[in-house]
Amino acid sequence: MSFSQKTIQLYLGLVLTCAGGLGSVVMFLQPWRSCPEIDDSSAGCPATSQDSTLLGIALAVFVAGIVLLIVSSRPVKVFPDEIGQFGKLD
């Protein structure tokens, strides 16, 4: 069973988009962090440099997934000589 390049790009784009989107949301919300001196919720805590780096990587993965989805949805250009005898139906 062989998959075309467009199918591989589509599924890889879907996986990267989902992973990057979920990772971005989790890194942005930081549910494991608590700062009782600033605020009781995790949204009030300042991000460390490692958190910012991981958020940047997750966003880059998300963008790469979107690019792969766009590339996989472009139509394939077929030249008349590749069609053979079926190219002259008119």
pTM: 0.74
87 pLDDT above the threshold of 60: no
Higher per-residue confidence, 43 vs 53: 53
Number of domains in the chain: 1
Contact partners, residue 67, CB within 8 Å, separation at least 6: 13
Is the distance from CB of 27 to CB of 75 less than 8 angstroms? no
6-47: pLDDT as tens digits? 888 999 999 999 999 999 999 888 888 777 777 666 666 777
